[in-house]
Amino acid sequence: IVLTQSPGTLSLSPGERATISCRASETIGDTYVAWYQQKPGQAPRLLIYRTSRRATGIADRFSGSGSGTDFSLTIAGLEPEDFAVYYCQQYGNSLWAFGQGTKVEIK
């Protein structure tokens, strides 16, 4: 399965809503999609798992949704610390794969 994220870069202002899309090349089970945030020089951090469940300590402005082949991550009201790169990830057939990443930058 290939995951394609869009857009590649999202230029937004603090307070705006960010929506990142992740499209799979074939149908994925809803339990198998996760989202990560990565800041420069840091390891990735789990944000969302099983499509829509927030990981421990993740703010409720982060939400995930989707089914089938189309999934999305929404950040409702960007905070200064949210400007980072975001990756979707899926599991299937004993393989794990990541999307190519979406950079959310300050406009």
Residues in contact with other proteins by CB under 8 A are: 31-32, 34, 36, 38, 43-46, 49-50, 55, 87, 89, 91, 94-101
Contact 36, 46 (CB under 8 A): yes
DSSP string, 29-96: -GGGEEEEEE-TTS--EEEEETTTEEPTT--TTEEEEEETTEEEEEESS--GGG-SEEEEEEEETTEE
Q: Smaller CB distance to other proteins: residue 62 or 87?
A: 87
Q: How far is the CB of 41 from other proteins (least distance, A)?
A: 9
Q: Smaller CB distance to other proteins: residue 11 or 31?
A: 31
Q: How far is the CB of 70 from other proteins (least distance, A)?
A: 18
Q: Smaller CB distance to other proteins: residue 66 or 99?
A: 99
Phi/psi for 80 (5° steps) reads -55, -35
Q: How far is the CB of 14 from other proteins (least distance, A)?
A: 25
